[in-house]
Amino acid sequence: MINKKYLKNLRSKEINNKNHFIFDLYNERIMDSLEILNLNFKEILILGDHGIKLREFINQKYINSSVTIYDLKKNDFDLDEWKYKSDKKKYDLIISNFFLFLSDKFDYVLKKIIFSLSPNGFFIATLPTEDNFKALKLAMIKTDSELYSGAFNRFNNFIELVKIIDLLKKNDFKIPLVNLEKINLEYNKFEKLLHDIRSMNLSYYNTDKKIIFEKKLYFKKLEHNFKKNLNNNFAISTNFYIISGWKDHKSQQKPLNPGEAKNELKDFL
């Protein structure tokens, strides 16, 4: 179960804008997707305020839009307790960057999102995969085993690809898409790698979290167990999904019923 008090304290921490480096890499992928859509979104909702780059993009591309931000550190917003009835068909664009997985009720969250989208509204989000920061996870497991004869949970849960696709379809998102993205990073100093990951404020938040903070010995061993690459750098990859879908609208192209096609397959072969 989620430790709500810890998650609230974690998410409420102020982050210097300069420390949004990794979040902004994810934001760039969202912005690339929005850039090719020739639609003028008027009512925009951002779930999870991660990085200023996305906000700047929205303000420049959709000059006359109204932007609402829901986040713990801004307005004490809890995904699991989202009072969404007043948002019915309100937003024609809903964006979320590495935030939705903070709920253990992903199905319910998608219901809220589709309910809050206006007809022909668009939803896009990023979510971590099982392999996100995998090299660091493996180094942590090895370090835990050496120091504690067992491994602690140190990374948050992820949502399996099959479940994401099934729930998008179940909640009536039209043209649902899930793309896998991978960004490779290299650091010449291990402290810098840890600094960028810590700045994301995504520490493990469930109730079985290890309460005692680690001492310097742990991080020395962790650095030793994190093998350098051929460039003598600490290499790590962040793997994540970009998911998207539309709210149904009469203007969207509908599949033909059996027998309605005007051409046969052989006409195109």
- Given a cut of 50, whether residue 17 has pLDDT beyond it is no
Judge contact between 196 and 21, C-beta under 8 A.
yes
Domain boundaries, the chain: 4-134+157-186+239-249
What residues contact residue 107 under an 8 Å CB cut-off, 6+ apart? 167, 170, 171
Q: With pLDDT > 90 as the criterion, what percentage of the chain qualifies?
A: 57
Spell out the CATH class of 4-134+157-186+239-249: alpha beta
Structure tokens at 5: 């008090």
- Say whether pLDDT at 87 is over 80: yes
Give me the pLDDT at residue 3, please: 67
Cα dihedral value 80, 181, 41, 115, nearest 10: -30
Least confident of 6-20, 32-46, 144-158: 6-20
The beta strands (E) that lie in 188-223 are given as none
Rounded Cα gap, residues 245 and 169, in angstroms? 9
Least confident of 38-42, 56-60, 150-154, 255-259: 255-259
The secondary element (H helix, E strand) that includes residue 235 is strand 234-246
> Can you give the pTM of this predicted structure?
0.85
pLDDT, averaged across the chain: 85
Tokens (6 digits) for 236 = 């790590």
Pairing of strands 91-97, 66-70: unpaired
User: Per residue in 198-245, pLDDT tens?
Assistant: 888 777 667 777 777 788 999 999 999 999 999 999 999 999 999 999
pLDDT at 211: 72
* Rounded Cα–Cα distance for residues 220 and 143 (Å): 10
Q: Which residue has the higher pLDDT, 49 or 147?
A: 147
What pLDDT digit, counting tens, does each position of 147-203 carry?
998 888 888 888 999 999 999 999 999 999 999 999 999 999 999 999 888 888 777
Torsion over CA: 93, 95, 101, 102 (sign): negative
pLDDT at residue 10, as a whole number: 66
- What's the token pair of residue 188? 């010449």
Give the residue-averaged pLDDT of 18-24.
78
Range 60-69 average pLDDT: 93
Mention every residue, 6+ apart, whose C-beta is less than 8 A from residue 79: 47, 99, 100, 102, 103, 105, 109
pLDDT, tens digit, 9 for 90 and up, residues 103-137: 888 999 999 999 999 999 999 999 999 999 999 99
Nearest by Cα to 153 from 99, 217, 206: 206
